[in-house]
Amino acid sequence: MKNDKSLERAVAVGLCLTDEHIRFSTEESLEELERLANTASIEVVTQVIQKRRKPHPGYFIGKGKARELSLICEELSCDIAIFDDELSPAQTRNLEEELEVTVWDRTALILDIFNRRANSKEAKLQVELAQLEYLLPRLVGRGEELSRLAGGIGTRGSGEQKLEIDRRHIREQIQEKKRKLTEVRKRRQESRNYRKKQNLPVISLVGYTNAGKSTLLSKLTDTNVTAKDELFNTLDPKLAKLELPSGSKSLVSDTVGFINKLPHHLVAAFRATLEEVEEADLILHVIDASSNHMDEEIEAVEEVLKTLEIEKTPTIKVYNKIDQVNDPDPNLYSNYPYEIPISALNKQNFSELLKAIQTQLEKHWVRKYFEFPIHREDLKARLHQVGEVLDVEYNETSILVYVRIPPEEEKRLTQELENH
């Protein structure tokens, strides 16, 4: 929900913990926070960084710093203070009292962007649920500012009784959204099962937000997928068919971009979209090779992949946007077929990429001739079901079928035929 002013003014606040190992520096992380804010139509007018050993339990930043921040907000007429880390409900409350502006954390900002981006029923439900769960412990008096977050959910005003009603209302809504989500997901599972029956291998594109996943999907498959220079452009993953050089087909799916400090419960909320990744036969990790923080972004993505327990799925690192890299280091991406440099935008190096995809997929599907008696049409039908039938030949007494199938199916069928 937008307030009346078109562009809100914000101060971005980061904490630099002196003895903690961090991936992105506080400055880099704030730079990203600023891009996120812009995506949410918020202008960051200044940044404030504080060094501390650990966050202040009540104010996150020190109490003195909070007072200083309140003056800055007033002087620069900020409407909002955005903190780069997740704040506890109590910290948010205290800070709002001290600063007298809306206080958001990274999670709130990401939720706001997700809310604008969600298109499908499932994504909408996921975002609404995540927002409600975020809102519930934070619902205290200042319902007005929070209502922007809740997308209008929650009633305005304050008062203990009203607060209790709001809380109950939100709990009920959480239950309702969960019920609806279960339904929508069931339908999604059914369509996945249908896809499985078609037996096309599934390739999942994953990567840091803005790496170029959607661009790659649309250029590879000649479909129209919107790509935009915005963070979290894709919230509703798309699927498209891809033909490989051998002529065999596969399905490519886009996914939600990852980001540093993506709060855990948001990862959980989007787990459903990531289920595609869990079931993928091949993962293309799309990397923005022109980013100044390429290594950190790779690491952030790999961390999320680890939590999905998909180490065994073959992965190709696709270094995208090489058209933007001056002097690319030839050693960097030369580990074929595990690393490929491309430019999705210019379709540069696509033939290499397609070859690598085919190589990787074939490693895991086997080609084989099966021969069985002519009356066993059922076996032929089964091969159609579990694999890709490449050729069929009828002799006087037998059928010869040439297929490409998953190795476990190959074993099972071979054993059955031997036992007959």
Ligand X SMILES: Nc1nc2c(ncn2[C@@H]2O[C@H](COP(=O)(O)OP(=O)(O)OP(=O)(O)O)[C@@H](O)[C@H]2O)c(=O)[nH]1
User: Which residues of this protein are in contact with ligand X, per CB under 6 A?
Assistant: 207, 209-215, 227-229, 231-234, 257, 320-321, 323-324, 343-345
Tell the smallest beta-carbon distance from residue 230 to ligand X (Å). 6
Tell the smallest beta-carbon distance from residue 288 to Mg ion (Å). 12
- Amino acid 259 reads I
Q: Is position 255 annotated in a ligand binding site?
A: yes
99 versus 274: smaller Cβ distance to ligand X: 274
139 versus 227: smaller Cβ distance to Mg ion: 227
Look at residue 129 and give the partner it binds from ligand X, Mg ion, none, a contact being a CB closer than 5 to 8 Å depending on partner kind: none
Q: Is position 307 annotated in a ligand binding site?
A: no
- 8 A C-beta contact, residue 52 and residue 78: no
Q: Which of 311, 320, 325 is nearest to 280 (CA)?
A: 311
66 versus 231: smaller Cβ distance to ligand X: 231
Tell the smallest beta-carbon distance from residue 217 to ligand X (Å). 8
Burial (CB count within 10 angstroms: exposed 0-12, middle 13-18, buried 19+), residue 382 = middle
> Strand 398-405 to strand 366-373: parallel, antiparallel, or no bridges (unpaired)?
antiparallel
Tell me whether the omega of the peptide bond preceding residue 89 falls within 30 degrees of 0, making it cis: no
Q: Which of 126, 204, 221, 233 binds Mg ion (CB under 5 A)?
A: 233
Q: How far is CA 93 from CA 140, 141, 145, 189, in A?
A: 8, 9, 12, 41
Burial (CB count within 10 angstroms: exposed 0-12, middle 13-18, buried 19+), residue 26 = middle
233 versus 360: smaller Cβ distance to ligand X: 233
233 versus 343: smaller Cβ distance to Mg ion: 233
Tell the smallest beta-carbon distance from residue 84 to Mg ion (Å). 23
- Looking at the chain, how many residues does it have? 420
Q: Is position 327 annotated in a ligand binding site?
A: no
> Strand 339-341 to strand 366-373: parallel, antiparallel, or no bridges (unpaired)?
unpaired
Q: Which residues pair with 315 in a beta bridge?
A: 283
61 versus 353: smaller Cβ distance to ligand X: 353
Look at residue 211 and give the partner it binds from ligand X, Mg ion, none, a contact being a CB closer than 5 to 8 Å depending on partner kind: ligand X
Look at residue 343 and give the partner it binds from ligand X, Mg ion, none, a contact being a CB closer than 5 to 8 Å depending on partner kind: ligand X
Say how far apart CA 273 and CA 124 lie, in whole Å: 12
- Amino acid 314 reads P
Residue 210-229 contact track with Mg ion, rule CB under 5 A, x = bound: ---xx---------------
Q: Which of 212, 170, 189, 399 is nearest to 318 (CA)?
A: 212
Q: Kindly state the number of chain residues that form the binding site for Mg ion, as judged by CB under 5 A.
A: 4
DSSP class of residue 9? Answer: E
CB 42: neighbour CB atoms within 10 A? 22
Tell the smallest beta-carbon distance from residue 126 to ligand X (Å). 16
Tell the smallest beta-carbon distance from residue 259 to ligand X (Å). 8
Query: Which run of H or of E encompasses 318?
Result: strand 315-320
69 versus 225: smaller Cβ distance to ligand X: 225
Q: Is position 233 annotated in a ligand binding site?
A: yes
Look at residue 11 and give the partner it binds from Mg ion, ligand X, none, a contact being a CB closer than 5 to 8 Å depending on partner kind: none
Q: Which of 192, 244, 239, 198 is nearest to 218 (CA)?
A: 239
Q: Is position 363 annotated in a ligand binding site?
A: no
Tell the smallest beta-carbon distance from residue 124 to Mg ion (Å). 17
Q: Provide the annotated binding site for GTP.
A: 207-214, 232-236, 254-257, 320-323, 343-345
Residues that bind Mg ion (CB under 5 A): 213-214, 233-234
Q: Provide the annotated binding site.
A: 207-214, 232-236, 254-257, 320-323, 343-345
